[in-house]
Amino acid sequence: MPGRLRSGDAREGRIMLGARDAGERTLLDQAFTRAVGAPLVHGNAVRLLRDAGENYPAWLAAIAAAERYVHFESYIIHDDATGARFADALIARARDGIAVRVLYDWLGGVGKTSRRYWRRLRDAGVEVRVFNPPRLARPFDWITRDHRKTLTVDGEVAFVTGLCVGRMWEGDAAAGVAPWRDTGVALRGPAVADVERAFGRVWAACGPPLPHDPMKAHATSSRGGHAGGMAVRVVAGEPWTGGLLRLDQLIAAAARESLWLTDAYFAGTPPYVQALLAAARDGVDVRLLVPGGTDIPLLRPLSRAGYRPLLEGGVRVYEWNGPMLHAKTAVSDGRWARVGSTNLNLASWLGNYELDVVVEDAEFADAMAHAFATDLGNATEVVLEQRLTPVRRLALAPADGAPRHRRERRHRGRRGHGSVGRAAAGALRLGNAVSAAIAGTRVLGRAEASLFAGVAGALLALAVVAVLWPWVVALPLAALGAWLAIGLLGRAWALSRAPAERYGGGRNGGGRNGGER
């Protein structure tokens, strides 16, 4: 297989992307550490967990074994049979006197989790906090979300993952419904303390900080005990820091043989796309696996438009054939791998709280490479179809290279899930394409023609409405202006009454949800 990842010796002297000497390893380690602000921590054990079938049982077992505390952070916890199982497990530990803390995102829970669900947890002694509920005085806070998915128990084990909690991740074998494809890890060792610190920062952004725990403080200060031979970085992304974006670009620049990416809502920025193209031009085997299904018709041409520059530059793109691909992973050169919650788009890179585990270990990277290769067996490759005319169109080919007439299923019109995130990613792609058309920053193809026609039609319709019925446009703008004015006045009033030292700086403005405490 082209670009097959090596799985050789995992000794520390060869751990940094197959680096040839100590000086190169030191330089890469320094660059990675400065890019994300996360040091490389040795002495860990990391286990790859595939889909809900491996993740959920491990989570529930860890919760059941908790002796001191459980910290559970999830963007979405569905109020369904799966969510009920987790609620029962958390309630059981809380009733036994274990400190159970649950943190969920307000926007993520809208329409998915009832107040009754959270009330049941609170009544049983579980401390539940919600991240960033809407506030009249903070009209733009909704942009920042807590997109992390982590679970830590007793400072001994941490789970970092792309999975939320819901029945769609488990599927329904009796009904023939396949589970969502997703990936997580179980982490033991000194890096667990970094996951706990990341949880503590967001917890404190939603209320009083975690109480002092002498045993926990001791474990944190000593960085825990040695659990294995793997080197790990815990990358705790925070809004407007862009650490993982810098790291992803560095990995693309450092890759020598292969870079295999899986992403649920890919909408790469031009600098990142250029980094992938530069790697592909240098002979690196760059592959991107993305979801194939969508229930929003507009997203299909948007996705295809985003693929074109990658395909023309030598990056291979595959679409998943299952109901939903939700994983966010990367593996490079048989030495480096990433698993977590960060998608390859601006919302994750710059707007959200995210958390990923970066593992620099040959054995783990080999397991990730095998998982990626297995996924390609259930994917269809997107190719540039050669015609007699100079125009090259996007087409689909089986991932195994079989002739097109042997395809078992067609992709046209297939419906899927994950629409909110894909809509956001599609909007970013559309913005990139429109800006390219206006500024002439890249060559555009036929795939973009229908997009621009649709955008032009919408703008013309808006112009006609503004001329014939100006109040239809004026009223929403007036309402938005009034909301912003109220928000700014509220912020000005709060700032004028607060002690000056409370606003003396800090990366997140020194306060709750990126503002004042």
As a whole number of angstroms, the distance between CA 343 and CA 326 comes to 9
What is the DSSP track for 326-390?
A: ---EEEETTTEEEEES--SSHIIIIISBEEEEEEE-HHHHHHHHHHHHHHHTTEEEEEEE--SSS
pLDDT for 11: 41
Q: If DSSP codes are grouped into helix, strand and coil, which group holds residue 225?
A: coil
Contact between 188 and 151 (Cβ < 8 Å): no
User: Within 10 A of 239 (CB to CB), how many other CB atoms are there?
Assistant: 18
Residues with Cβ within 8 Å of residue 221, at least 6 apart in sequence: none
Give φ, ψ of 129 to 5 degrees.
Answer: -125, 150
Exposed, middle or buried, 31 (CB in 10 Å: 0-12/13-18/19+)? middle
As a whole number of angstroms, the distance between CA 359 and CA 19 comes to 15
pLDDT for 135: 82
Residues of the chain scoring pLDDT < 50: 1-19, 214-215, 217-223, 295, 387-392, 401-417, 437, 439-444, 501-517
Q: Where is 131: in which H helix or E strand?
A: strand 127-131
The pair of three-digit structure tokens given for residue 332, joined into one six-digit string: 């490079």
pLDDT for 420: 52
Displacement of CA 376 from its chain's centroid (Å): 20
Classify residue 14 by its DSSP letter.
G
pLDDT for 504: 38
pLDDT for 374: 97
Q: Which domains does the chain have, with CATH numbers?
A: 12-264+324-376 (3.30.870.10)
As a whole number of angstroms, the distance between CA 365 and CA 15 comes to 11
Give φ, ψ of 5 to 5 degrees.
Answer: -80, 140
| Total residues belonging to the chain | 517
Q: Which residue has the tokens 């982590």?
A: 150
pLDDT for 39: 93
Residues with Cβ within 8 Å of residue 308, at least 6 apart in sequence: 384, 394, 445, 447, 448
Contact between 239 and 354 (Cβ < 8 Å): no
As a whole number of angstroms, the distance between CA 204 and CA 207 comes to 5
pLDDT for 405: 32
From residue 292, how far is each of 103, 272, 276, 319, 334 by CA, in Å? Answer: 31, 22, 21, 5, 27
pLDDT for 366: 97
